[in-house]
Structure 1
Amino acid sequence: MNRMTIEQQEETGRGMTVEKMVWGLSGLVSLILTAVLFYLWASLNHFEQDPTQLPDQASVDTYLESLENAPDYRVRTGIFLKSFSFVDASDIHVTGYVWQHYQTGVHDAIKPEPGQAGFLLPEAVDVGSGLIEEAYRMPEPGGEVIGWYFEQTLRQSFDYTSYPFDHKTVWVRFWPGRFDVNVALVPDFDAYPATGPKDIFGIDNRIVMGTWERENTYFDYKLSDLDTTLGINQNEFQTRLPELHYNFVIKRNFANAFVVHMIPLIVVTMLLFGAVMTVTRKPNLVERHDFSTSSVIGTCSVLFFVILLAHVQLREGFAGSPVIYMESFFFLMYFMLLVVSVNTYLFVSESAPSLRLIHYRDNLIPKAAFWPFVLSCMIAITAYNLSLKSPPSRDAPEAITHQDG
């Protein structure tokens, strides 16, 4: 009896040592994976400047001179945004001022008459209800500057796949007011205090940003992709028209999305881990934890509906968009709910005694592997999303409102 007692004690001691080693390894791996995940999140949140931006007049001249059909007229054009609001998943409402400089003896043939505008906003969708009205017409040395106040809703393409680490580029796209002559609109750099690669200009500092942070502003050109001459003989210029864009880059505040979406997911994951930890065959622990297969599966069912409601709420904000980064974590949780339910059933089932991985030391391996597996999946999802990340795209955020402060 004494020998059996000693052997049992030694076996129990070895078992406790093995369990401590397994849990220690699980904790260490989890900490390392957490650090890797935060590093990848920082990489996702990094903004790369658009190489096409034009910081000064020299860069504009270089670009225009490289075109096959050089413009006959260059009209200095500036913009100042007073407010903007994202009214839905594809429309942005902007208000502000646009001005242009017309030199006497140079721009006489293209100078707009009172009541006319020297530019077009081709992406405007509310031409009837929108507003472009002349605000001032003032003389200046060698010519005249004309300014217009505008209120327009612009339709643009959106990309939410990196949510909540997405950078959004809001842009105002300009066409010249005349198509029968070769006119190129050029940025009025002199109207701003600084237009370098990291400077923010052309937008009211009092605009409320809400869940967004200012990142950058810049001008650039994009060649038009018109597949028609619009009935004008100068077809080569019209089909390759250099379109002036004013771009405003904003970065999403990750803290807000983390509180709204990630914290509920983390809490549900912890509750699911707690359910896994109640799985046991030890009589004293079964009574203490009130463990049963039905209780664990019932817990998984309740957590499933919690995750489903949160997922539906998230998907409603990005209707029509492909699967976004944050949404992948919900799919992961669906999978984990299924895995935990299957693991519990196989653990208590006498028809599957050969599954030593599950039965070893009272379900030790699935318990210890829970967090390393979850974190590894999150890292794989993040790394995949990072591999798909491209330079800042021309997109816009979901329906949020910014008002003039």
Structure 2
Amino acid sequence: MSIEKKVWWISGVVTLILAVLLFNLWVALNHFEEDPTQLPDQAAVDDYLAKLGNVPEYQVKTGIFIKSFSFTGASDVYVTGYVWQHYEDGAHDAIKPVDGEVGFILPEAVDAANGVIEEAYRIDQGGSELIGWYFEQTLRQSFDYTSYPFDHKTVWVRFWPREFEVAVALIPDFKSYPATGPDDIFGIDNRIVMGTWERENTYFDYRLSDLGTTLGIRDAEFQTNLPELHYNFVIKRNFGNAFIVHMIPLIVVTMLLFGAVMTVTRRPDLVERHDFSTSSVIGTCSVLFFVILLAHVQLREGFAGSPVIYMESFFFLMYFLLLAVSVNTYLFASEAVPSLRFVHYKDNLIPKAAFWPFVLLCMVAITAYNLSLKADPEDETVIEVQN
């Protein structure tokens, strides 16, 4: 076997190994880790509240059903649905809302005055009263896009009790759902049009408030460390759409660039056949640069003001490849720097054979780094960008 064949055989094997490794890393990056703070049942709620050391005076069962949602801006999500609460006769008389009042607050509502929260039904259930409200609200929160297009969004509805002067804990109404386990999806209409998203998970959890103030209320120890009820629904981006829009152009440009590299030669028959010249290769790189630049600008317009996201790293890789191919072609054709044997060896064999292993190795390194950020939440950056 000739040296050229051995080099190309090694290049093919390494390329295949790196491609398999990259695919496995993509699978791992696309995996959603369950939140350990999930509340699957009433026992978990009781255990959480008991650990607070300050038992709330009232506990109000609260449920939610999401009818629709849509992303409307930088960090805004428009949500509609129903919220209901159970008020026991005698136990909750002091805090039960009368007609026209709402038993909860949505603190992240952007424009509550123009939103809708109206009573939809009030039912006497014999020993307790069930009150339900229909709501339409735009909620503001931060989302993490650093793993795009393998990112997940956890959209939550955050609840405060209506009363500030007494200790009230809102607890999930688990009995209103068929199942609320870690792998169950509940509280959201399964006919919602998701667009480029896929439904991944839903769950309740608590997060302690940190207002840094008592709001002027005396003896408000519970209120300044209030367990806020959150209903969370996790959605996963449909990778296929992002792959078609962003990855396919990158792959095509990379293949064209590899084709330009393969035309670099000093053999007279190949020079004539491929019409090789330094200016033609550099001209090709110039055209491909503007193609990549336009695609990059389109991507950045969707994530303006954010740090570098995962997909964007591949564009920087392409800029480097375009420059490297142009420099390699000039050095080879001009026979400059004869000491650079890896450029001149066997008719530019090493740069040609190393092209795909180098590209895939860089992609593997970029993906592994982003996967490490996902595994270590302390290193993640929460950003607010356009959807």
Q: How does 1:179-198 map to 2 (within 5 A)?
A: 179-198=164-183
Q: Sort the Cα spacing of 1:399 and 1:351 in 2 relative to 1 into closer, same or farther, 3 A.
A: closer
Amino acid across the alignment from 2:305: G
Matching residue of 1:280: 265
Matching residue of 1:109: 94
Q: Is the 8 A contact 1:169 1:395 kept in 2?
A: no
Q: Between the two proteins, what is the percent identity of the paired residues? A: 78
Q: Is the 8 A contact 1:170 1:394 kept in 2?
A: no
Q: How does 1:246-325 map to 2 (within 5 A)?
A: 246-325=231-310
* SS of structure 2 residue aligned to 1:228: coil
In the aligned structure 2, how far is the partner of 1:319 from the partner of 1:211? 20
Q: CA deviation at 1:348?
A: 1.3
Moved runs in structure 1, 4+ residues, more than 2 A? 390-400
Q: Is the 8 A contact 2:142 2:384 kept in 1?
A: no
Amino acid across the alignment from 1:305: F
**Greater Cα offset, 386-395 or 309-318:** 386-395
Amino acid across the alignment from 2:286: S
Matching residue of 1:132: 117
Superposed CA RMSD in Å reads 1.6
* Structure 2 residue runs without a partner (length 5+): none
Matching residue of 1:146: 131
Please say which structure displays the higher CA radius of gyration: 1
In the aligned structure 2, how far is the partner of 1:46 from the partner of 1:350? 49
Matching residue of 1:161: 146
- 1:382 matched to 2:367: yes
In the aligned structure 2, how far is the partner of 1:219 from the partner of 1:385? 28
In the aligned structure 1, how far is the partner of 2:326 from the partner of 2:179? 60
In the aligned structure 2, how far is the partner of 1:390 from the partner of 1:28? 30
Q: CA deviation at 1:17?
A: 0.8
Q: Is the 8 A contact 2:304 2:385 kept in 1?
A: no
Amino acid across the alignment from 2:68: S
Amino acid across the alignment from 1:366: P
Q: Is the 8 A contact 2:97 2:103 kept in 1?
A: yes
Q: Is the 8 A contact 1:86 1:397 kept in 2?
A: no
Q: Is the 8 A contact 1:218 1:247 kept in 2?
A: yes
Q: CA deviation at 1:234?
A: 2.5
Aligned partner of 1:220 among 188, 205, 212: 205
Matching residue of 1:4: none
Q: CA deviation at 1:270?
A: 0.2
**Greater Cα offset, 386-395 or 22-31:** 386-395
Q: CA deviation at 1:350?
A: 3.3
**Greater Cα offset, 344-353 or 269-278:** 344-353
Q: CA deviation at 1:391?
A: 7.6
* SS of structure 1 residue aligned to 2:2: helix
In the aligned structure 1, how far is the partner of 2:285 from the partner of 2:382? 38
Q: TM-score, normalised by structure 2?
A: 0.97
Q: CA deviation at 1:395?
A: 7.8
Q: CA deviation at 1:354?
A: 1.9
Q: How does 1:6-405 map to 2 (within 5 A)?
A: 17-390=2-375
Amino acid across the alignment from 1:59: A
Q: CA deviation at 1:397?
A: 9.8
* SS of structure 2 residue aligned to 1:208: coil
Q: How many corresponding residue pairs?
A: 385
Amino acid across the alignment from 1:168: K
Q: Which one scores higher on RCO, CA 8 angstroms, separation ≥ 6?
A: 1
TM-superposition CA deviations, 1:346-403 (whole Å, max 9, x none): 1012332221110001000000000000000000000000000048999899766xxx
Q: CA deviation at 1:211?
A: 1.4
Q: Is the 8 A contact 1:268 1:303 kept in 2?
A: yes
Matching residue of 1:11: none
Q: CA deviation at 1:141?
A: 2.1
Amino acid across the alignment from 1:249: V
* Structure 1 residue runs without a partner (length 5+): 1-15, 401-405
In the aligned structure 1, how far is the partner of 2:376 from the partner of 2:40? 18
Q: CA deviation at 1:318?
A: 1.1
Amino acid across the alignment from 2:200: E
